[in-house]
Amino acid sequence: MLDGVRAVVLDADGVLMFRGAPVAGAAEAVADLRRRGIAYRVVTNYSSAHRTSLAAAFGRATGLEVDGMEIITAASAAATYTAQHHPGLPLLVLAAPDARREWQGQEVITPAEAEARRAPVAAVVIGDAGDDLSFANLDIAFRQLRGGAAFVAMHRNAWWMTPKGFTLDAGAVVAGLEFALGRKAVICGKPSPVVFRQALSELRSQLAGGPRPAGQGEPRGSGGARLRAADVVMVGDDPRADIAAARRVGLRGVLVLTGKTTASDARAAGLPPGRIAADLREVVRALR
C-alpha cells in the first residue's frame, strides 16, 4: 500500500493532537520522518492563528522543535491563493489578527477602507474572524462581492468544538454569503483540492532542492524524478475531508484511528483494511 511513497501530508487534529493533548507516539513518528529524510507537511483547517504560533504551541506540547513552514493552515492556503491569483491588488480579509499576518506583503485593507473605495477590492477572504464577522463587516464584504470581488473562503466548516461546547464556525457565514450572492466561494482549506495542491507543490519544490523547513534535513530521494501526487500519502482521521479529498487530487490516503473515526466508522465509510492504521507510528513504520 505504501510502496514508493516519497513524502507525507499529515492532518493535525486526530493524528498529532487530539482534544488538546498530543497523540501518543505521534511526536516520535514525526522525529522518525525527519531522521529518515522523508519530507512532510502538516495540513490543518485550524485558522485562528499564524503558522508560527501553531508551531510554537505544538512544540510546547510535544517537545519537538517545529518550524511554521512545516504547516499549511486554511488561512495560509488562502493567503497563498490570493498571492498567486490577485498579486499586488487590494484585499479585504476577515480573519483573526494573528492569522492575518499570513498576508504580510499583500495589500490588505480594512472594511472601512474597502467601503470608501470606488472600485471593489480584488478579493474578499472570509475566515475565522470571531467577533469581526459582525453584521457591519459582512454587509461591507457582501457589497464588495456584489461589486465583483473574487469570493475566497478559508473553509466551509459549519461548527467546531471549543471549551464552550458546540461553536458556530465561519463556514456558516460563508454559506450565508453564498446564499445571498447566488454564487459559491473558492474554498482553500480541506477538503478543497487547493490546499492539497499547495502541499504537493511545496513538497515537490523541497525534493527538487528548494526551501525546506528547519527541522527537515536533506530529503531522501531529492533531485530524483519529479514528485508525483501518487508518491505522497495523506494521513488523516476524517474519511471524507482527509482521505477522499486527498485521493481526488491523486494522493494516497491512510486513515488513522487516533481521532474522531472508529474502526467500524472507517469500514462503514468503505475504507479497505489496507488503508486503515492504528496510528501515525504504524504508517511511518510501514514506509520503506
Number of residues that bind Mg ion (CB under 5 A): 4
The residues, ordered by sequence, that sit 6+ positions from 2 with a Cβ below 8 Å of its Cβ are: 233, 252, 254, 283, 286, 287, 288
Is the CB of 23 or the CB of 227 nearer to Mg ion? Answer: 23
Contact with Mg ion (CB under 5 A): which of 10, 13, 49, 111? Answer: 13
**Residue facing Mg ion at closest CB distance:** 14
Is the CB of 13 or the CB of 70 nearer to Mg ion? Answer: 13
Residue whose C-alpha is closest to residue 214's, from 80, 68, 102 = 68
The nearest distance, CB 257 to Mg ion, in angstroms, is 12
Q: Compute the distance between CA of residue 47 and CA of residue 97 in angstroms, rounded to an integer.
A: 11
Contact with Mg ion (CB under 5 A): which of 6, 8, 14, 280? Answer: 14
The residues, ordered by sequence, that sit 6+ positions from 169 with a Cβ below 8 Å of its Cβ are: 128, 155, 157, 158, 159, 160
Q: Compute the distance between CA of residue 172 and CA of residue 209 in angstroms, rounded to an integer.
A: 41
Is the CB of 127 or the CB of 259 nearer to Mg ion? Answer: 259
Is the CB of 11 or the CB of 102 nearer to Mg ion? Answer: 11
- Cα 146 to chain centroid distance, Å, stands at 28
- 102 is an interface residue for Mg ion by CB under 5 A: no
What are the C-alpha distances in Å from 174 to residues 35, 97, 266? 41, 19, 29
Binding pattern for the stretch 179-218 against Mg ion, x by CB under 5 A and - elsewhere: ----------------------------------------
Is the CB of 19 or the CB of 228 nearer to Mg ion? Answer: 19
The nearest distance, CB 191 to Mg ion, in angstroms, is 11
Is the CB of 158 or the CB of 181 nearer to Mg ion? Answer: 158
Is the CB of 100 or the CB of 190 nearer to Mg ion? Answer: 190
Which phi and psi angles does 98 have, rounded to 5°? -65, -40
Per the CB < 8 A criterion, the answer to whether 195 and 43 are in contact is: yes
- Count CA within 13 A, CB hemisphere, residue 146: 11
Residue whose C-alpha is closest to residue 92's, from 53, 133, 130, 44 = 133
Give the type of residue at 46: Y
Site for Mg ion in 215-244 (CB under 5 A): 237
The nearest distance, CB 225 to Mg ion, in angstroms, is 31
The nearest distance, CB 161 to Mg ion, in angstroms, is 12
Q: Compute the distance between CA of residue 199 and CA of residue 202 in angstroms, rounded to an integer.
A: 5
The nearest distance, CB 236 to Mg ion, in angstroms, is 6
Contact with Mg ion (CB under 5 A): which of 11, 128, 202, 279? Answer: 11
- 253 is an interface residue for Mg ion by CB under 5 A: no
The residue ranges that bind Mg ion (CB under 5 A) are: 11, 13-14, 237
